[in-house]
Structure 1
Amino acid sequence: MTELPSVDDVNQASRALGLGASAAELHGGLCGWLSAGGAPVREWPARVLADDNLPTPAEGDALARLLDASVAQLEDRDFAFELLLSDASDTATQADALFTWARAFLGGFGLGSGQNRPALSEEGDEALTDLAKLAQASSEDFESGNDDDEDALAEIEEFIRVAVLLLHGDCVMAARHRQRLN
């Protein structure tokens, strides 16, 4: 199983390439792109951030490792997929990272699917709708030190993780399965 690079390493690599995106934003967008069937290409930041002028990450740097780990985790049959979020301990920062991740995922999903919205299962369609609702949420609704809010964030993170795997299954894994049958 390929492990995700650290939040700090991804943030540093983002700054070095002048991407202007956080680790949560990059990972969310990348996972959205991949889940919709976007190709796992080295120049993924240009595709995910919709700017063809962005540089390509160097082989082996944190962004290249992020791509490799994300592909491996999405394809893992043990459902070991995880979200790359903030390392901060306060609830508001964690919530910001989580909702940023969800917004970026939706953007990447839209870009990865192109002009045609992929055919989704009923559960996949519902998951996408729920992700869109979560992407509108704000950290203002969460208080640091509130155990209920911390539990709620953990549940939201788990929902997002499962929704992403479901969407990836609908758009990528099901398409591969259909190809094998033909």
Structure 2
Amino acid sequence: MSNEPMIGYDELAEALSRLRLGSDPSEFHGSLSGFLAGGARPVGQTLLEALQLDAAGEIERAAQDDPVLLELMRQTEAELADPELAFEPLHPSDDRPLPERADALASWCRGFLGGFGLSGAATHSQLSEEAQEILRDLATIASSEFDFGPADEDEDALIEVFEFVRVGAMLLHAEVASLSRNLSGSVH
């Protein structure tokens, strides 16, 4: 991993606002993470084009070279592949209200599923049953509406769901990478 400072939630929020994109930081990071976990790269197009995010021509050109977006892409690629399991979905800080953090996690999952779908890996018939189950669980989280009870229990539950999402994204990335290696190595 790089010694460069990590792109955080607030820094990404500022970049997305500056570029006038209608995506919140969690959803954007989820889209990027899903796209990369699915084995895709923005080859011959900008990152925003690859993620099929709307941006007017001027904004699109500015975003193409936006250092925050480019660094976030490098950071996310490195974290997904990190053997130390450093990957984490981008989310508001822990001092933010629980409902805000829960909604951000659901938003991240929606973005991840969209990005994974754009990568083409979701239609890959060779995904394991475990990978397909992770995708179904992410879809359930993405479509969830949360009821909150005792704060301590809710906090613990959110931590458990966050950890499931974090590990699930890394497992999907590892499986797609393995499938890609096996397919590219099976030329007869």
Asked if TM exceeds 0.5, the reply is yes
Q: Which residue of 1 aligns with 2:89?
A: 83
- The alpha carbon displacement at 1:103 in A equals 0.7
Q: Which residue of 2 aligns with 1:107?
A: 114
Contact 2:79–2:86 (Cα < 8 Å) also in 1: yes
Q: Alpha-carbon deviations, 1:10-45, whole Å to 9, x = none? A: 011111111111110110000111111211457212
Q: Which residue of 2 aligns with 1:34?
A: 36
Which of residues 142, 159, 162 in structure 2 aligns to 1:157? 162
| Residues 55 and 173 of structure 1, relative CA distance in 2, 3 Å threshold | farther
Structural mapping, 1:11-50, within 5 Å? 11-41=13-43, 43-50=46-53
- The alpha carbon displacement at 1:52 in A equals 7.3
Matched letter for residue 168 of structure 1: H
Q: Which residue of 2 aligns with 1:179?
A: 184
In structure 2, distance between residues paired with 1:33 and 1:173: 16
Gaps of 5+ in 2: none
In structure 2, distance between residues paired with 1:45 and 1:151: 35
Which of residues 101, 109, 115 in structure 2 aligns to 1:94? 101
Matched letter for residue 129 of structure 2: E
Gaps of 5+ in 1: none
Q: Alpha-carbon deviations, 1:143-170, whole Å to 9, x = none? A: 5x70100110010010001111111112
Q: Alpha-carbon deviations, 1:102-128, whole Å to 9, x = none? A: 0111111111117x7022112111111
In structure 1, distance between residues paired with 2:73 and 2:166: 17
In structure 2, distance between residues paired with 1:178 and 1:47: 23
Contact 1:7–1:86 (Cα < 8 Å) also in 2: yes
* Identity rate, percent: 36
Aligned residues: 179
Report the TM-score, using the length of structure 1 for normalisation.
0.87
Matched letter for residue 134 of structure 1: I
Report the TM-score, using the length of structure 2 for normalisation.
0.85
Misfit runs of 4+, over 3 Å: 49-54
Contact 1:29–1:49 (Cα < 8 Å) also in 2: no
In structure 1, distance between residues paired with 2:49 and 2:65: 15
- The alpha carbon displacement at 1:59 in A equals 4.2
| Residues 10 and 161 of structure 1, relative CA distance in 2, 3 Å threshold | same
Q: Which residue of 2 aligns with 1:69?
A: 75
Please identify the structure whose Cα radius of gyration is greater: 2
| Residues 179 and 70 of structure 1, relative CA distance in 2, 3 Å threshold | same
| Residues 38 and 52 of structure 1, relative CA distance in 2, 3 Å threshold | farther
In structure 2, distance between residues paired with 1:156 and 1:9: 24
- The alpha carbon displacement at 1:176 in A equals 2.1
